Structure 1
């Protein structure tokens, strides 16, 4: 008799939570409403709101659901890697805790993985409540020239604002919704754990392409994205790690980083930008 408890599944959905708020309930509910053979691994980075544990109690009879408690905030990439090590699905779907995904969108992502040659990673167009796409859904690599164009709101920047309505090759897609064969994720050794939060998705896309896999955007898939409960609670903390991630990506992949004086200027620019953002972040928090 086959061991049904360890039989392969079509999909493992991985959600990382860290004081993600009530939106996490809707995210989990949307995944478990799908009829695709799947499991959901909710991995919690030491949330203090009790919501992951409450969801686990409510879902204790659902064999598709697993809560993994880290007891510390390990960061996004390290948490995904730990969940992926426990996953049984042939494919992984990495999903932000403030996303709501419909079964048709989930199935379409799986279909793209199955039918597109050398598909290593597939993203979706993530949208806000008004249906406005997040530019991070479809991006170029943030090499220095493009990053500066984005900063000064000039053409030729990182984001590609014209969203397609079909499957296209991309340099990078949003880590909010990211599907890939588990064997590809494992071959790449998962996320680079030296990123804590932000830019690890850009890194994974780049390494997938460098390894010969295609990074694709399923432009006909739209997923509602609520833009982060944890980010709203700790904007300076999140901004620090975002800038830290930008610095790591630059050093790893940008040819300009080979020149010492350019590295010094970029380092200074990144951290001055971080410091300049802090007063506005504090003011927005005070107004809430």
Structure 2
């Protein structure tokens, strides 16, 4: 294999792992099977399963691959930011450790980013093993009215009614697959590190749009997403940070947060929802 030359690397793929399980091996394999010139930075948040170390040993002769070890779980956004500081590419692909991407899909995403006017960030349609699209692939800002519509299963909610099969502008795309220009990411100072897990992708999409770039969904690109391999054994922990992220996004971006009484009601509703979910999460974890 020829020596790795960072000056010719146009794409940096960043994967964050945290006890992500065996699917991480397949994710890394799928990326390194692509023919696009790239580097892959796997940044590990103190996993105890030994899989990142095993992958590093198996891939020690592949100069495109690098593992960065954190000594604690820093959270998703902070880990990505640290990996980006060591990346060489002009374009960043942020990829979940339970996603599988192929060469054609990767090239299509790069083409959309390169050819669409003012494109700053491009997402893909993430699907389960049966090919069913995740509604989170094509979302709108979760302002209070939309969040309530989603909660009560009414029209006008956060998720779109249908997933398009072509390139469209989006308010937000899934953080499982996000292609973004490095200079856009750097201009925005990366992910907001006050999110630990969940909603940081919504936050980044909003800031990309606010800064004048377009967020796009490549509806013709479908990526298999295993859905939460690292969260299955700690659902309450993940749920806590998801609800904490909801509150932070609301405080930053929703005009309703300017009303102290309404903000108090929203805060109460978010944490009541979290508490009500705990028994079911514990039961599902115990019966696996």
After TM superposition, the score normalised by the length of structure 2 is 0.98
Structure 1: runs of 5+ lacking an equivalent: none
**Which string of whole-angstrom CA distances, capped at 9 and with x for unpartnered residues, describes residues 3-26 of structure 1?**
974414110000000000000000
Inter-partner Cα distance in structure 1 for 2:171 and 2:70: 32
What's the offset of the Cα at 1:228? 1.3
Partner of 2:205: 205
2:177 corresponds to 1:177: yes
Partner of 2:110: 110
Partner of 1:28: 28
RMSD between superposed Cα atoms in Å = 0.9
The residue correspondences of 1:131-280 to structure 2 (distance < 5 A) are 131-280=131-280
Inter-partner Cα distance in structure 2 for 1:65 and 1:4: 10
Number of equivalenced pairs: 286
Inter-partner Cα distance in structure 2 for 1:182 and 1:210: 17
Displacement over 3 Å in runs of 4+? 3-6
Contact 1:208 1:214 in 2 (8 A): yes
Structure 2: runs of 5+ lacking an equivalent: none
Partner of 1:7: 7
What's the offset of the Cα at 1:227? 0.4
Partner-residue secondary structure (3-state), 1:94? strand
Inter-partner Cα distance in structure 2 for 1:8 and 1:68: 21
Inter-partner Cα distance in structure 1 for 2:250 and 2:8: 38
Contact 1:77 1:196 in 2 (8 A): yes
After TM superposition, the score normalised by the length of structure 1 is 0.98
Partner-residue secondary structure (3-state), 2:36? coil
Contact 2:91 2:179 in 1 (8 A): yes
**Which string of whole-angstrom CA distances, capped at 9 and with x for unpartnered residues, describes residues 146-195 of structure 1?**
00011111111000031101000000000000001111110110000000
Distance 1:214 1:51, change over 3 A: same
Distance 1:6 1:106, change over 3 A: closer
Partner-residue secondary structure (3-state), 1:89? coil
Contact 1:8 1:90 in 2 (8 A): no
